[in-house]
Chains A and B, each alone.
Chain A
Amino acid sequence: MPLLHVKDLSIILSTNDGPARAVRHLDFHLDAGETLGIVGESGCGKSMTALALMGLLPEMSRTEGQILLDGEDLLQKTEDEMCRVRGNRLAMIFQEPMTSLNPVHTIGHQIMEPLRLHLGLSESDARAETLRLLDRVGIPNPTARIDNYPHQLSGGQRQRVMIAIALSCKPDILIADEPTTALDVTIQDQILELIQTLVQEEGMALVLISHDLGVISENTDNILVMYGGAAVEIGQTERIFDDLVHPYTQGLFAAMPKLGRARNARLITIPGTVPDLIHMPTGCTFTDRCPLASDICRNTPPPVVEVKAGHMVACHHVQEARHRKTEELFS
């Protein structure tokens, strides 16, 4: 049995303009110690999926399907029960290290909170553990830093504090939602390296969410590409990059400026913009921007085709998508 199994998950948000399907029929699983990357653009449902895992969805939302952690459905749990799971078995690192720490409490206080709540440590034990954690995440001089407020730390250091909080109860699964988007490349490098090391040493599973194919490529075993709330391609990271199949994945890869490419070649663009979730076709979510789209795409959800062992693509036109060059596809 996998550690985490997301089965046919749908998230529907009620908005003033009607229901928005933020996530539709998502299926994936995660084994202990595995690293999974979720990649996609804004509005693709990657953050909503993370919030659903943590039981932190906004109130105006409805879920369908199951999220099984060790066979127990998290969606059926009460808030009290979720409080014992959250931070304890599942922990999350948020995108904005500037706003996700409480500015009126010292960082020590914030790291001690889960330790006292979940592990029931005494004040002095929690403080000792906090010092160890700060050292572990690479904050220099923990004894001085423990009484600092968030504004006294740099962006990279704040993200390290967030990681320390997430690690404090030795969770089984660490969810990192765009952990480095607000940081410089050099700091991003340090933080990703730290997450990698910690995940390996503690044997945690990692769900890394990013819009950056480069970050995902270098830090994950498996990858899940989402568009408009649906999974479009899933498989082993290395294999997927050898053979991008879904037209969206191909377009996304081609649209990304890459170092060392001839600069005279134009970037390939995917026409149109990221769609809004209310007026999405009932079939394939990529229909409106897809060069291969036909009538069937708009109204019938695409079948999931296994193109190679473990490499699944949700597309009506897999063969065509596979055997055409990206340049042709989007010209």
Chain B
Amino acid sequence: MEEWAEKKNKKKIVVEKINLKIGEFTCVEPISLINTFNAAVLGSWLDSSEITIETIPFEGKCSRCNRLYFPKKENGYKSPCCNFNLEEIISGRELKIASIDFKEK
């Protein structure tokens, strides 16, 4: 964030939103991330900004029939179509700053 802000000339901008993409199959709990962010930026140049989180679904691909499916722990993450083990993860591992919304002062 600091590197990005320096390029934009930090003193001339106000960051409104930091838009994140967080996959369901990560060790990140969105509400904890938001609370931590709010505490961390208090009194800093990001004080007036907020975090938005787009949750990216956890999606796998059945290696037997190539169908996409949403793995569930209740089913041992296996494909419902062929009861096949989870080999390929299509999405859900994302931990990204997707974009930043800002205004010029």
A and B: interacting chains: no
Give the B-binding residues of A (Cβ under 8 A): none
Give the A-binding residues of B (Cβ under 8 A): none
